[in-house]
Amino acid sequence: MNPVNKTAQQKSVTNVNAIQWQDGILMLLDQRVLPEKVVYLQLSNVKAVAEAITDMVVRGAPAIGITAAFGVVIAARDRLHGSGAWSESVKKAVFDDIELLAAARPTAVNLFWALARMKSLIEACSETQSSETESSVTESSANDDIVDKLLDEAKNIHQQDIAANHLMGGLGAELLTKPCNVLTHCNAGALATGGYGTALGVIRHAHKAGKINHVYADETRPWLQGARLTAWEMKQEQIPVSLLVEGAAAHLMKLGRVQWVIVGADRITANGDAVNKIGTYSLAVLARHHGVKFMVVAPTSTIDMQTATGDDVVIENRAAAEILTFSGKCIAPEGVNAWNPAFDVTPASLIDAIVCEKGVILQPGSEKMSSMANRSYLIDSR
C-alpha cells in the first residue's frame, strides 16, 4: 500500500470520497490516522485490499462492501493479466480471491452481500464469454469487457449506497417530530459508507431541517471512531457536537439531554436484531430505561434475511492490544489480558425504528422485516 498525502488538497471530508477509483487504482482514505493526517493509500492488488479491510484502513459496513467490490475488479484484472484469457481456472482463481476478501472481517454482512453481487456478475459474464468466444469475438476485447462490467458494477454499488443514504436521511429525519438533541455512537457517516452516511445522513438531513440542536457523540473505544471521525464530520458541516466517554451516556440520558439515539448497523438479521459497534447494545438498554428513542439506520445491503437472529452472527473478537496500547504506548500493566469484542447485538425489542432506503419499520420484528425485504427497491421505483 503506497501512501499518498493529500492533506494540502483536502479541505472538507463531506465532499471527500473515502473510496476512490482512479486510473485502475483503488485509493482508500486511511481512517486510522484521521483526523491528524489525511492520507490515501493506493491499493493495487487484492491482498492489499483484504489487509486494508482487516486492518481498518477502511471501516463501516457499507464502505467495506464497496471496497470489496473494487477488490474483485482488481482480482479479475490481475488474474486475467496473468493468464491471458478468461477461463474456468481464471474464474476459480478470482473466486479464491473473493474468499480472501470475504475472510477479511466476519461481522458486517455488506461485505458478503457485495461479493455475492460481484460473483453473480462473474457467473453471468462467464456464460456469455463462452458463447461469445465460440462466435469468434476477439479474446482481448471480451476480457476487457468482463473487467469493465465488474468495474461498472462496483461503481453502481458505490453510487447506489450514496443514493440510499440520502433517501434514509430524509426518512429518518421525518421521525424527529420536533427539534431535539441526539446521541450517536461510532461513525456511521460519510466515511463509513459510499458517502453522506447512514446515522449521520439522518443527522445531516435533520440538522439542515432545523430538527437537531445538538449532537452528542460517544468517543467509541477502543478505536475512537466517534472522537476521530464523527466529530470531524460534524465539525466540517458546523453541526454542534460534544464528545463524551461511553460511561457518561446514561448520565446524559438521565439529565434529559437527548431524545434520540441514532446509530448505524453492520448487520440486521431476519428478526430485526441489529449487530453494530460494541457499545450500541448498551445504549439501547439505557435508552429504553430513560424513555429515549432508538433508531437504527442501514441500507438494504446490511439486512441479512438468511440469519434468524443476532445471536447467530459471528461477533469478531479483535486483538487485546487495541485496548492495551494507545498510539504504540502501553496503557495497562504488561501481561494483563483484555476482552475485545468489536460488535454487540441489539435485540429488535429495544429498537424503535429501523430506517432503510426502502422505508421505515417501527417496532421491528420478523414479519415486518420479511415484508420490507420483499418490497420493491425505492431507489429504482422513484
Q: Applying CB under 8 A, which residues contact a copy of itself?
A: 35-36, 185, 216, 218-222, 224, 227-228, 231-232, 234-235, 240-252, 254, 277-282, 285-286, 289, 320, 323-324, 326-327, 329-333, 335-341, 344-345
C-alpha dihedral sign at 228, 155, 205, 236: positive
Cα distance between residue 382 and residue 378, in whole Å? 6
Q: Closer CB to a copy of itself, residue 173 or residue 287?
A: 287
In 55-108, where does DSSP find H-type helix?
61-83, 88-102
Q: Answer for the pair 341, 361: CB distance below 8 angstroms, yes or no.
A: no
Return the number of the residue (147 or 278) whose C-beta is nearest a copy of itself: 278
State in angstroms the smallest separation of the CB of 156 from a copy of itself.
33
Least distance between a copy of itself and beta carbon 179 (Å): 19
Identify whether 35 is preceded by a cis peptide bond (ω within 30 of 0): yes
Is the CB of residue 263 less than 8 Å from the CB of residue 280?
Answer: yes
Identity of the residue, 117 or 185, whose beta carbon is nearer to a copy of itself in the bound complex: 185
Q: Is 30 a catalytic residue?
A: no
Q: Is the Cβ–Cβ distance between 76 and 94 less than 8 Å?
A: yes
82 or 335, CB closer to a copy of itself? 335
Name which of 137 and 243 has its Cβ closer to a copy of itself.
243
Rounded CA-CA distance 316/343 in Å is 7
Q: How far is the CB of 24 from a copy of itself (least distance, A)?
A: 33
Q: Which residue has the cell 437472529?
A: 309
For residue 76, give the nearest of 44, 111, 122, 129 by alpha carbon: 122
Determine the 3-state secondary structure of 297 from DSSP: strand
Q: How far is the CB of 241 from a copy of itself (least distance, A)?
A: 6
The distance of closest approach from Cβ of residue 245 to a copy of itself in the complex, given in angstroms and rounded to an integer, is: 4
Cell of 249: 451516556
Residue 190 beta carbon to a copy of itself: minimum distance, rounded to whole angstroms: 14
Q: Choosing from 161, 218, 266, 344, which is the catalytic residue?
A: 266
* Nearer to a copy of itself among residue 326 and residue 377 (C-beta): 326
- Pairing assessment for the beta strands 260-263 and 293-297 based on DSSP bridges: parallel
Residue with cell 466517534: 226
The set of catalytic residues is 266
